[in-house]
Structure 1
Amino acid sequence: ACGPQLANSPTVIVMVGLPARGKTYISKKLTRYLNWIGVPTKVFNVGEYRREAVKHYSSYDFFRPDNEEAMKVRKQCAMAALRDVKLYLTEEAGQIAVFDATNTTRERRGMILNFAKENGFKVFFIESVCNDPTVVATNVMEVKLSSPDYRDCNSTDAMEDFMKRINCYQASYQPLDPDNYDRELSLIKVIDVGRRFLVNRVQDHIQSRIVYYLMNIHVQPRTIYLCRHGESEFNLMGKIGGDSGLSNRGKKFALALNKFVEEQNLKDLKVWTSQLKRTIQTAEALQLPYEQWKALNEIDAGVCEEMTYEEIRDQHPEEFALRDQDKYYYRYPSGESYQDLVQRLEPVIMELERQENVLVICHQAVMRCLLAYFLDKSAGEIP
C-alpha cells in the first residue's frame, strides 16, 4: 500500500524573503506536517550547499552584490540544489520539494519558474515579510548566532555581521507583487509572523492545505502535554478498545496527574480528552474545565473490539498475521488503520498549533500518531 497521491504533478515550494524572517522555520515545520499527512516532502536549504562549497565563512562581504566571485559560487549552489530537487521529484518518489533560500530577486525566481516548467513541476511561493525590528533581532539572536557561520565569533560581532548581511539583500530585494508583476503566480505572503496573510491563485488541493496550515501556526513559546489515560478495567484484563472506566490504579494515576499539573503552574491550561470514559475520568481529577473530542477516541478495532490479543490470534489468525506485517496500513475489519487515525487527527493537530498551553489526555495509538507529528517520525515508525 502507498500513501495518498495528493499532488498530481510534483510541486516545488519556493521560499522568499530576507534573512532572519523565519523561512527555514516555516520550511521545516511545513515539511514535517506534509510528511505526517502522507505527502513525501523534503527541504533543500541552499545555505547548507553554500557551507559545503565554502568551508570557512569570513564575513558579510561574501553576500555583497558586487562580489562577483561569490555571486558565482552562490548561483552554483542554487543550481546544485535544484538538480537535487529534480532528482527527488522525478526519481526518488518525492511529491513536494521545499526550496529554502532568499530568492529575493525576480531574476532568481524567474530562473526557478523556468526550471519548474521544463520539468513539469508546479510552483507555490511562500514569502515571509517582517518589518518589525524586534522580531528580526530576536530571530537573529535565537537562531542565527548559533549558525555554523559564526562558530568562532562573539555574539556582538556576529550580530553586527548578520545585520550587514541582511543589508546586502535589502538593496536588491523585490517582494512578490500579486497585483501586477506576479499576478499569475500561486503564492501566500505571511506578514509579521502571521498577523496578516495575502493569498493569490491557489491551484490545487495540496496548496490549499498548505495555506490552511500556515494560517494556523504561531511562534509563541508554550507547553503541550500528551498524556495517556490512567489504567482502565480493560487494560487489567488485556482487552483492547471498549469503553471501560478506570481501575483503582488508574484513579491513583489521575490524582498523581492532578498534583503534577498543579506543580507546573501553567496559566490558562486547556485540557482535552476523548469521548471515552477512561480519559474523561482521568481529567475529572484535575478540577479544570475540559473539552471532549471525538477525534481523540482510540483506534477502532472493529470486530476485534473488547478482545485480548490471544483471542484475536485464535479467532482471527489471518487478521493477526496481516496486522503483524504492516501495522500502519493494516485496517481492522469494520475498524480503522493507523493511516485512518492520522486523517482523523488532522483537525486536532491544526487546533493544537493554534493553541497555547494544552494537556491532551488520550489513548496509546492516538498518542503515537500525535507524537509522530511533533517528533517528525515517518509513517513506518508510528506503530
Structure 2
Amino acid sequence: MTLKIVDGMENKKLCLIMVTEDERDKCFLTQKLTRYMGWLAIRCKVFKDRDIQGIEIKFDDLVTNVCEWFKEEHTTVAILDLENIKLSDGPKYDSIFRRDHIDTLFVEYIGDEANQDTLSTPLESITSNKELTDPLSYVVLRKESKDILVNKVENYLQTRIIFYVLNINMENKSIWLSRHGESVFNLEEKIGGDSSLSPRGQKYAQLLPDLITKEIGESPLIVWTSTLRRTQETAKYLPYKKLAWKALDELDAGVCDGMTYKEIEEEYPEDFKARDDDKYQYRYRGGESYADVVNRIEPVIMELERQENVLIITHQAVLRCIYAYFMNVPQGESPWMTIPLHTLIKLTPTTDGVKVTRIKTDIPAVSTYKEKGSSDITSNPSNLSSKYANILEEVSTIQKI
C-alpha cells in the first residue's frame, strides 16, 4: 500500500524574491529555503540574473525561464536571487509575473545594525507607487526577528515561508543526533516495539554523558527524546533538562510492529516488495510512511531552528528524516541511509553549510540495516544500492548544503 500525497499547495505558483543588504545573508537564506521546500516535497528552483561566469542574464530571458519552470508538473516555488534588487522594484516584478498567474512575495532581511526607521520606509514607498493596482505581498524583518512588517500575506504557502525564516537562529549552535542504545528488539532483529536497552545499550547510555561533556563543556544544552522506553533509558544519565516529544517516536510499523523482516516477507510479500520499491511513500498497514514521519516532525525541525544547543535521542527512521533535512539528501534516498547504533553525530550549521562530526564509540552493537530486495540484516554495509547509504562514512569536514 502506497501513500499518495495530495497537497493543496501544488496548484500554487509563488515567485519568492530575496532582498538583503549582505550577499552572504541572501545566499544563506536561499539555501535554507530551497532545502526546506525540497524536504517538504515542494518543488523549488533558484533563478539568478548572473550565470556561473558572472555574465548578466537579460531580464526578459530571466522572466521566460521562470515562467517555463512553472509550466512543469507540480512546480510550486521559484526563488529569484538578484543583484541590486530593492523592495521598491516590487511593482515591476509583481505586474510581470501576475500576468502568468504567478504570485510574488518579497522577503527583505535587514541586518541588526540597520536603523530602526528602516522598517517603515518600504510601506511608504510601496503603497504610494502608482503602478500598483493591488497591494504588493512582502515581509520586512530584522535578523534577530524583533521587528517585523508584513503586508498582504494571504495564502498558506506564503505564511509558511515567512514563519520558517522568522525561526532561523544561527548564533553559535550545534545539534547532536543519536539513536537510542542497542535494544532487546535490535538483538532479536525485530522492528518497532517498546523494548528496553540491552546490556551494551546500557553501557552506551552510561558513556553518553562523558561524550557530551567533552563536546559542550559548560555550555547550556537541552535533551530531546521520544516517548519510548529505549530513548528514555539512553538519556537517563544525562544531567540536562529533558523533553520528550511524541513526534520523535519511531515510524509506526502498524500490523508489522514487533516482527522481523523475514517474517514480514513471508506473511506480507506484496507489502514487502512495495516498500522496497518506494520506501519513502510506502505506508505500513495501520502504520506510517517516511512521508508521514516528515510531516509530523516538521514542528520539531522548526523548534530546532529556533533553539541553541540540542541533543536529540531518537530512532533510525526519524534520524534519517532529520539528517536528510540538514544535509539535503533526496527524499527517495533518505530511507536507505545507514545510521549506526552507538554513534554520536554533531551538526554545526554555518553560513557556508553544515559541519559534520561523527563520534563512534567502542561499544559494539548489532546492525539494523536491511538492504533493498533482501530480508537479511546487513552487518557490513559497504556496497549498497543507494549512493547515500554510507553518507556518514563519507562526510567531509564541511558538508555543503
Q: TM-score band, normalised by the shorter chain?
A: 0.7 to 0.9
* Residue 71 (structure 1) aligns with: none
* Residue 237 (structure 1) aligns with: 188
**2:17–2:81 CA contact under 8 A, matched in 1:** yes
Judging by fraction of residues, say which structure has more strand.
2
Cα distance 1:375–1:266, how it changes in 2: closer, same or farther (>3 A)? farther
Name the aligned partner's letter for residue 130 of structure 1: G
* Residue 274 (structure 2) aligns with: 322
**1:227–1:361 CA contact under 8 A, matched in 2:** yes
Q: Distance in 2 between matches of 1:81 and 1:2?
A: 31
Judging by fraction of residues, say which structure has more helix.
1
Pairing partner for 1:83 from 64, 68, 73: 64
For residues 334-366 of structure 1, the C-alpha deviation after alignment (integer angstroms, 9 at most, x for no partner) is: 000000000000010011000000000000000
**TM-align CA RMSD:** 2.3
Name the aligned partner's letter for residue 242 of structure 2: Y
Cα distance 1:220–1:331, how it changes in 2: closer, same or farther (>3 A)? same
Name the aligned partner's letter for residue 86 of structure 1: C
Asked whether 1:16 is paired with 2:19, we answer yes
* Residue 116 (structure 1) aligns with: 97
* Cα drift, residue 179 of structure 1: 5.4
* Cα drift, residue 77 of structure 1: 4.1
For residues 41-96 of structure 1, the C-alpha deviation after alignment (integer angstroms, 9 at most, x for no partner) is: 122233x42x5254xxxxxxxxxxxxxxxxxxx5x444433332222221364210
Name the aligned partner's letter for residue 176 of structure 2: Y
Q: Normalising by structure 2, what TM-score?
A: 0.75
* Cα drift, residue 22 of structure 1: 1.5
* Residue 86 (structure 2) aligns with: 104
Q: Distance in 2 between matches of 1:17 and 1:300?
A: 43
Unaligned stretches of 5+ in structure 2?
116-120, 336-401
* Partner SS, residue 112 of structure 1: helix
Q: Distance in 1 between matches of 2:32 and 2:99?
A: 28
1:120-269 superposed matches below 5 A: 120-130=101-111, 132=113, 175=122, 177=124, 180-181=128-129, 184-264=135-215, 265=217, 267-269=219-221
Quick one: percent identity of the two aligned structures? 40
Pairing partner for 2:239 from 287, 290, 307: 287
**2:45–2:78 CA contact under 8 A, matched in 1:** yes
* Partner SS, residue 380 of structure 1: coil
Q: Normalising by structure 1, what TM-score?
A: 0.78
Residue correspondences, number: 322
> Which shows bigger deviation, 231-240 or 200-209?
200-209
Cα distance 1:223–1:192, how it changes in 2: closer, same or farther (>3 A)? closer
Unaligned stretches of 5+ in structure 1?
55-73, 135-173
* Residue 33 (structure 2) aligns with: 30
Asked whether 1:381 is paired with 2:324, we answer no
* Residue 60 (structure 1) aligns with: none
Cα distance 1:15–1:22, how it changes in 2: closer, same or farther (>3 A)? same
* Cα drift, residue 127 of structure 1: 0.9
